[in-house]
Structure 1
Amino acid sequence: MRETVAARSALRKRKWELPALRSSEKRFLFSKAWIVIAIAIIAFMALCAIAPQWIAPYSPVEMFTDSIMQPPSVVHPFGTDYFGRDVFSVVVYGSRESLLIGLMSVVAGGIVGGTIGALSGYVGGLLDMVLMRAIEILMTIPGILLALTIAAAMGPSMTNIVIAVAAATIPGYARVMRGQTMSINGRSYITAARSIGVSRWGIFWRHVLPNSLSPLLVMATLGIGSSILAGSSLSFLGLGVLKEIPDWGALLSQGRGYLTVAWWICTFPGLAITLLVLAVNITGDWLRDYLDPKQKEG
């Protein structure tokens, strides 16, 4: 009788105990938590770029002359700069230019590079040789150096920065798209489509191109972070967008001279760049694992 009561008591206690998680389950939950955090950071940054007036407590051009270079406080969470502007508000408003440079350069580079790679891989022959030799010449030049040269030659503006950063990413997209197109073009269902009389370009638009876009999409997602870094680097060097409200790279450049006396002026824009690039890379890694069956099996 006592053993039965003890067994029932132990069973009741066990109901309230959480089951132990295996190491693989812990890794899965940990990775999912990081993905949620990364997506939340990206969503917040996007909201800052779309509607900064909802986030920023002050105008980015409002100057508090009695609070010049004040450290972070309750009133000014990121402190104030050498003009007395609220650094948090300036960082929020500056996110628009940084995000636009990253997104637009990735879209432009992906479209141009993807088109070159798809045509080169599908048509082949002389066109493939000419396009790939041109791409290889571009690949011999470091990306940031190519972007710096183009931006310096064309002058500081949003359009020129996007062109410069996009040009540096074209070779990578072209190589990936060419390899994927050649791989898809050799599949059995492509041969079957040819055997039933489907036109060459009909096969390209219906079968080859749609099935080749997944790696390009993943690469573009991962490339957003690199493009934001490249755009910020050009702005840091004085080749960015010349506006009243500077982007993050320009904020870093403006605050570097005050690093020893007002560290917060360039620290928080740098943290914003770091957080956004890290969040984009985590999201890109997750998207790669989700779209690539080989990654799932590994």
Structure 2
Amino acid sequence: MTDLAPEVTDSAPRRWGPRAFSGLRRVPFGVALATLVVIFLVLCALFPELIAPKDPYQLSLLHSLRAPSLAFPFGTDQLGRDIFSRVVHGASYSLSIGLGATLIAVTVGLLVGLIAGSAGGAVDLAFMRIIDVLLAFPALFMSMAVVALIGKGSLNVLLAIAIAEIPRYARIVRSQVLVVRQSGYVEAALILGQRRWVTLLRHVLPNTIGPLIVLSTLGIGSAILSSAALSYLGLGPKPPTPEWGLMLAEGQGYLRKAWWIGVFPGIFATLTVVSTTVLGRYLKALSDGRA
């Protein structure tokens, strides 16, 4: 007698409930710590006055080069400005440049990758040869060249970093589009007479943008690092802007006499890059099923 009871398989849809969040208990300690660091930096960028109420631009020659203490947790610089306030207020500049550059690079790279991967033929060949030429140059060198052409400043640094990162995202999107185009549901949609641009928006784009969002979290850290490097070289915001790279450059000449001027901005920049990279790698591992 045939058993007509429905067979329970692993492909059944998951239900939202307490078990759906049981994986959160297995989050590694390093990932949890990186998440807390990122949350703190976001709070510094959004509400700097609550965390550091002192004016980051206020000069006080009577308090110049003060070592870290209860009154000045990170000490003061050569002009008597509070380092802690300047570091906290500098988070808004670094994070805004990193997020803005990554957003522009992902958007333009997504458009270029979609066009190259879906068009194919001569269009794909032309786009990829241009991308190969741009990828031959280091990203920091490309950013410096763009800043030299369009000028200094926070906005120009943001655009320069975005332009340097576009080829990398475009190549990733193009390779993902080529994989999705060969899937069965895309071929079935085209056979059934669905328009190509509808298939592109309905099937190809959703399956391409997911991995790209995960990979963009890794790009935020590299964009922040490039921003600090450009500011350190004098190509970013102008003094007295409390930007981490600029503060590193200002504290370079005081490392023996007042090490705290350059050390604390460097620590914050390092924590930002490491934390965003850890979160990005963990999200990528989750998307690949390896976490």
Normalized against structure 2, the TM-score is what?
0.89
> Which runs of no fewer than 5 residues in structure 2 stay unpaired?
1-23
Of 42, 61, 67, 1:71 maps to 67
Alignment of 1:212-231 (within 5 A): 212-231=208-227
* 1:32 partnered with 2:28: yes
Corresponding letter in the other structure for 1:110: V
Q: Which residue of 1 aligns with 2:134?
A: 138
* 1:200 partnered with 2:196: yes
Shift of 1:30: 8.0
* 1:259 partnered with 2:259: no
* 1:107 partnered with 2:103: yes
Corresponding letter in the other structure for 2:117: G
How far does the alpha carbon of each residue in 1:22-45 deviate from its partner, in whole angstroms, 9 at most, with x for none? xxxxxx978522222111111111
1 CA distance for matches of 2:206 and 2:239?
A: 40
2 CA distance for matches of 1:176 and 1:104?
A: 19
Q: Which residue of 2 aligns with 1:178?
A: 174
> Which runs of no fewer than 5 residues in structure 1 stay unpaired?
1-27
Runs of 4 or more above 6 Å deviation: none
CA contact (8 A) 1:101 1:231 kept: yes
Q: SS state of the match for residue 28, structure 2? A: helix
2 CA distance for matches of 1:207 and 1:102?
A: 30
Q: Which residue of 2 aligns with 1:51?
A: 47
Q: Which residue of 2 aligns with 1:210?
A: 206
Of 226, 233, 236, 2:232 maps to 236
More helix by share: 1
Corresponding letter in the other structure for 2:81: R
CA contact (8 A) 2:109 2:167 kept: yes
Gap change, CA 1:30 and 1:80, over 3 Å in 2: farther
2 CA distance for matches of 1:154 and 1:246?
A: 22
CA contact (8 A) 1:118 1:177 kept: yes
Q: SS state of the match for residue 58, structure 1? A: coil
Shift of 1:214: 2.1
Normalized against structure 1, the TM-score is what?
0.87
Higher alpha-carbon Rg: 1
Q: Which residue of 2 aligns with 1:149?
A: 145
Shift of 1:63: 2.5
CA contact (8 A) 1:176 1:215 kept: no
How far does the alpha carbon of each residue in 1:139-166 deviate from its partner, in whole angstroms, 9 at most, with x for none? 1111110101111221112221111101
2 CA distance for matches of 1:253 and 1:105?
A: 22
Alignment of 1:239-250 (within 5 A): 239-242=235-238, 244-250=240-246
Alignment of 1:90-129 (within 5 A): 90-129=86-125
Of 177, 182, 187, 2:183 maps to 187
How far does the alpha carbon of each residue in 1:70-91 deviate from its partner, in whole angstroms, 9 at most, with x for none? 1111111100100111100010
Percent identity, aligned pairs only, is: 39
How far does the alpha carbon of each residue in 1:110-139 deviate from its partner, in whole angstroms, 9 at most, with x for none? 111121111101110111011111101101
CA contact (8 A) 2:231 2:245 kept: yes
1 CA distance for matches of 2:63 and 2:239?
A: 24
Aligned residues: 268
Gap change, CA 1:30 and 1:67, over 3 Å in 2: farther
